[in-house]
Amino acid sequence: MSELVPLFVVIPLASAFLIPVIGRFVPWFQKSLTLLVLLFLTILSLSYLFTNTGETLAYKVGGWENVEHVPIAIFLVLDGLSGFIVLIINMLGFLSAFYAVSYINKYTAENNFYALLCLMIAGMNGVALTGDLFNLYVFLEIAVIASYALVAFGIERNQLEASFKYQVLGGIASILILFGVGMIYWLTKTLNFADASTILAQHAGSPTVTFIQVMLVVGFGLKAAMIPFHAWLPDAHSSAPSPISAMLSGVLIKAIGIYALIRLFFNVFTISSEIAIVITTIGALSMVIGGLLALRQWDVKRLFAFSSISQVGYVAMAIGIGMIVIARGGSQTVASLAIAGGLFHLINHAVFKGLLFLNAGAIEYRINTRNLKEMGNLAQFMPWTASTSFGASMSVAGIPPFAGFFSKLLIIIAAIKGGFFFLAALAVLVSVLTISMYMKYQRYAFFNKAHSEDRMKIKDVPFPMAFSMVIMGVLCLIMSLLIFPGVREIILDPAVDVLMKSSAYATTIIGM
């Protein structure tokens, strides 16, 4: 199956070039091709997870074999962790593209939209699959450059301003990441993850390696919009078309931020307690401050954007706890539990936050406002939007039996078992804070009667938009099954094993 690995990059990349050319002459070509491509890639990623549990597949671009156990080819690596990430990327990409079939009608450049969407998917898939440091940077830039254009897609003043801010801060992040990659190459004379890891292990704890790690934490922290690197995110997520907001919040900040960070710090560097504490602290601050900032928002998309910072904080904090336990030689069970909780919450956040942005798009599509004070009584006239929004709100708030409850529970249990009682208490308090902000959203958007007379002519959104929201609403429930051993062993455990058995990554690649 290793020959199929490049398809995750090649097919969406080729689609991005075909759509502007053929889409001019063939009606619906851009929509049909994008949906077929993303559906195929979703099925392919599911096929890998269900038929190759834990097996690492590596494709050597150009067919170059290892020379004396030194990998000289550019590797694309599909393992438990990258398979988990490409499933999230392509599944949410497909649902967002299907939603856009109706939503994008209010814009005039459909070809450009779908071409940029495919380009962004290709970049994110490349980030997830690459085993090469420089190509990590290249794919990252492909994804973010497409996202810059998509944030400004409506070409209104606020969208152009948001895109400009995003580009400036994104450019700073890219410079820091490229500088870090250059420093690694200078130190190791290689760009291959596996080869670099064996050399960096000999320099573990040196000032040079620590400096490189700080550069990468700041660079990828900016990409992930964690506190205090979050300034670009609220404007970008609120200004972009809603399917793109779902992609930005659901997968982009994770694929080019959180995923890249944990891949490098687990599989390339030797985990250090100091860097682990920094990541945990940033995660905890993001969790708390993001929640507090979200609580005071009345623009529904800005509320969701700040909430994304808070929920990504849960993921970073959980991964950081696992790193601290590993670095200090603590219980492997506690470390794996923390990492499992972080990855579980990562996929949960992709679904429930992606769904909430689609809900916000549906509301704006019908009543042309994002201000909660101008909404009200929408549950009576938009039942599909209201019901799926309720499910997503309950999941993000951590209410059982929705999946968000179980991922937060794993994180809190891991924090308690690891002796991080203050962080466990913070996670509980922020969850209570999250409940209050989403009760506010539900009350003002769907149950407030103040504007009921103005809503009589409103109806729910078209089928493509409703279909995507319903599927994601169902996922908010059924992903709770990941807590059970049979399902967890297929989807979650292989990703956790890649991080827990970090040295096995280098051994596998070098031995190929």
- pLDDT tens track for 234-280: 888 888 888 998 888 888 888 888 999 999 999 899 888 899 999 99
Q: What pLDDT, on a 0 to 100 scale, did the predictor assign at position 446?
A: 85
Where would I find the H helices in 328-455?
Answer: 332-367, 378-381, 383-397, 403-417, 421-442
Q: pLDDT value at position 502?
A: 80
State how far the Cα of 317 lies from the Cα of 485, in Å rounded to an integer: 24
226 Cβ contact partners less than 8 Å away, ≥ 6 residues apart:
257, 282, 283, 285, 286, 309, 312, 313, 316
pLDDT at 54: 67
Cα 264 to Cα 469: distance, rounded to the nearest angstrom = 34
Tens digit of pLDDT for each residue in 185-231?
999 988 988 888 888 888 888 899 999 999 999 999 999 888 888 88
Quote the CA–CA distance of 239 and 241 in Å, as a whole number: 7
Contact 249, 304 (CB under 8 A): yes
Token pair of 396, please? 């993000």
pLDDT-wise least confident of 83-87, 322-326, 390-394, 498-502: 498-502
What is the per-residue pLDDT for 456?
57
Band the pLDDT of 511: cuts 50, 70, 90.
low
How many percent of the chain have pLDDT more than 70?
97
Write the pLDDT tens digit of every residue in 117-131: 999 999 999 999 998
Q: Where are the domains of the chain?
A: 2-510
Tell me what the mean pLDDT of segment 94-111 comes to. Answer: 87
Residue 14 banded pLDDT, cuts 50, 70, 90: very high
Residue 229 parent element (H or E):
none
The amino acid present at 370, given as its one-letter code, is R
